[in-house]
Structure 1
Amino acid sequence: MPYFLPEPALPYTRQNQTAVLLLNLGTPDAPTAAAVKPYLRDFLSDRRVVELPKWLWQPILRGLVLTLRPKKSAHGYEKVWFDQGSPLAVYTERQAAALAEHLPGITVRHAMTYGNPGIDRVLAELKAQGIGQVLVVPLYPQYAASSTGAALDKVFAQLLKQRNQISLRTVTRFYDDSGYIQAMKRHIEAYWAQHGRGDKLLLSFHGIPQKSHDEGDPYPDECRHTARLLAEALGLSENDYTVSFQSQFGKAKWVGPSTQTLFDKLPGQGVGKLDVFCPGFMADCLETLEEIALAGREQFHAAAGKQFHYIPCLNDNPAWVAALADLVKRHLQGW
């Protein structure tokens, strides 16, 4: 078997086109335990995601986690699944299509770190089309090794297999991009104009283990920076909003405060009406629609909260797509 992947039958003069590749986490192909299991196996086997020795983690993963978790996760996916498929897949595809309209002459594709469409397949297809230059944009505003790092690992791994390597640029973070901040501001203000404003805005980001931050992962700092810029754009005081971190997994200490803990505590602190927005998620998914919009609502009401509003992610909001296009154009300069 050849060490390098076969090259497309194109003359070198035709391998000079440019593409933009949007990356997101991924999703199972169906809301079933059978589809969730291989997705979780790939996701939780990534050393960027679970930084435990294989000899310790793999028996736990294959013996316990992959026995119990697929059914539970599939039940969650069933609650939020669209007719067209997974919300994350649907919105990411729409973002790519909308972005392409802003970039005439540039090919725009999307791929997933885990699941379909896979990074390996999409890069191979781009190469076969004569793409020689690719700008890779992981759709994570704040850099984390377990999200952006894991996605770019998959891209770099494909370059190692190419005899004639493509030219590559990456956008590792955009947590303070003015277009991104302004798109969120306009989105939230539009929601408030239609639904009213609560007593407090909870800005919930995905969490990471505290150990990862202690060892140099900048993610929590970038999240708080984004929150501060967004609050300033919205004209909020420090008492008007709170930053929290969700989706904890395992027994290790994670960065806090915990979103789920605050759902229990805030009603007792006088917050009867809560608005929740997730700035780190560029597309609605299981973690936002099930964990926050459904389970979070139930938890907050069970703690005597009176009103819970989940503000959807930016998804394919035109202001966000325009901001993304501006970001991409800046990084494409010179190509």
Structure 2
Amino acid sequence: MADPTAVVMLSMGEPNDLDDVRRYFSALLMDRELMQLPMQKRLSPLMARMSAPGARRQHAEVGGPRLKGWLERQGEAMVRALDDLSPATAPHRHYLALRYSDPSTDATLRRMKADGVRRAVAMPQFPQFSCTTSGSSLNELWRGVERTGLHSAFTWSVLDRWYRHPAYVASMAETVRAGLADFDAGDRDRVLLLFSAHSMPMKVINKGDPYPHEIHASVDAIMDELDVPNAYRVSFQSKVGPVPWLGPSTIAAVEKLAGQGVTKVLVVCVAFTSDHIETLYEIDVDLFRRAEAAGIREIRRAPAPNVRPAFVTALAEIVAGHLKSGEAASAQYPVQCLGCDNALCRTVVHSVAGGYDTTEPTATLR
């Protein structure tokens, strides 16, 4: 039997359980590839301690952490479809490597070695590339390769972004249609589509991070695919910490729209591929409550991709096309942001195509 081809699904993760919330937030806030705070080593544990009780209540209200479960189900469905689409690289196995929760990067790499994997695709679960999400997850993967002594164990390539892939765009358009179907037929054309994406620190954006462009490019492609007359706007959510973040905020956007006389809104979480605290609580509970108070008469959220058939097909088609290409990464990947000061960025260790390996595999943020 052929050696399995691994698809390593990279994500920040969520708390492992309700009792893990404080540890999770402390790890997240200490990560200088995600955000840089003044006196970060002293400030982050304090912020985690202050935010943990509220975050724990929010997770409890929506039934506990959900992200890992969805990632597992997406991965299982994706590789089943991928075996049919790409028999030359079959069998395929999915692996999770979660930045701040289990399974950790190191544990996943050791499991891959034990399973006989030799060819691996690193696939951040963020359609739009940012140095804080996809980039930092990949950097942690390469550090894990060095920590475990598995530098030459696997031949790697990177699926670093897929924000305009036709199958992804079509799957997102399908979720918008499903969301619009919940409104009365006579009102659907007048529903404002509010595309909400995770925000990023402005310090990152000002270094030339491509994330804002790729979010807007995804939205434009989805609207072209939909071919509907609805007005639409883009906003950003999930700000963390006392530094400036990319706006406008989704909460402020809804309040502004209400002030302009908008009464019906469909929120589309364009950067999230599954349901978790940032959809189930931030949008479905907190935002909806604020929208009602502001005067929005009807607000709904388009369903998350989760394991909807169109999205599972998209994941499989994206990976199959990447494997067929033989490329180590996209053309954009090796070019650092113009203000980047991280020596590890844009690496592919032991690349399928060569030419990407860093000379500083354990480099840290300077």
CA distance in 2, matches of 1:68, 1:234: 43
Amino acid at match of 2:82: L
CA distance in 1, matches of 2:4, 2:305: 30
Please list, as runs of the form range in 1=range in 2, the aligned pairs for 1:1-335 lying within 5 A after superposition: 16-31=3-18, 34-52=19-37, 56-62=39-45, 64-81=46-63, 86-104=65-83, 105-161=91-147, 162-163=149-150, 164-196=152-184, 197=188, 199-236=191-228, 240-333=231-324, 334=326
SS at structure 2 position matched to 1:251: coil
Amino acid at match of 1:317: R
Shift of 1:285: 1.0
Amino acid at match of 1:300: A
4+ residue runs over 6 A deviation: none
Shift of 1:40: 1.2
Aligned CA distance change for structure 1 residues 236 and 257 (closer, same or farther; 3 Å): farther
Aligned CA distance change for structure 1 residues 236 and 211 (closer, same or farther; 3 Å): farther
Shift of 1:16: 5.0
Amino acid at match of 1:103: L
Amino acid at match of 1:88: L
CA distance in 2, matches of 1:61, 1:211: 18
Shift of 1:192: 2.0
Give me the identity figure in percent.
Answer: 31
Q: Which runs of 5+ in 2 are unaligned?
A: 84-90, 327-351, 353-366
> Residues 28-55 of structure 1: CA distance to partner in whole angstroms, max 9, x if unpaired?
1212xx31111112211111112236xx
CA distance in 1, matches of 2:232, 2:32: 34
Q: Which runs of 5+ in 1 are unaligned?
A: 1-13
CA distance in 1, matches of 2:161, 2:320: 15
CA distance in 2, matches of 1:257, 1:236: 24
Shift of 1:20: 0.9
> Residues 136-157 of structure 1: CA distance to partner in whole angstroms, max 9, x if unpaired?
1111011111111121112101
CA distance in 2, matches of 1:224, 1:268: 24
CA distance in 1, matches of 2:197, 2:47: 24
Aligned CA distance change for structure 1 residues 16 and 73 (closer, same or farther; 3 Å): same
> Residues 75-125 of structure 1: CA distance to partner in whole angstroms, max 9, x if unpaired?
11111125xxx2211211110111121123111222312101212111110
Do the aligned partners of 2:113 and 2:153 also contact (CA within 8 Å) in 1?
no
Do the aligned partners of 2:193 and 2:232 also contact (CA within 8 Å) in 1?
yes
Do the aligned partners of 2:179 and 2:300 also contact (CA within 8 Å) in 1?
no
SS at structure 2 position matched to 1:301: helix
CA distance in 2, matches of 1:236, 1:143: 27
Shift of 1:15: 9.8
SS at structure 1 position matched to 2:223: helix
Do the aligned partners of 1:28 and 1:35 also contact (CA within 8 Å) in 2?
yes
Instruction: Report how many residues are paired.
Output: 313
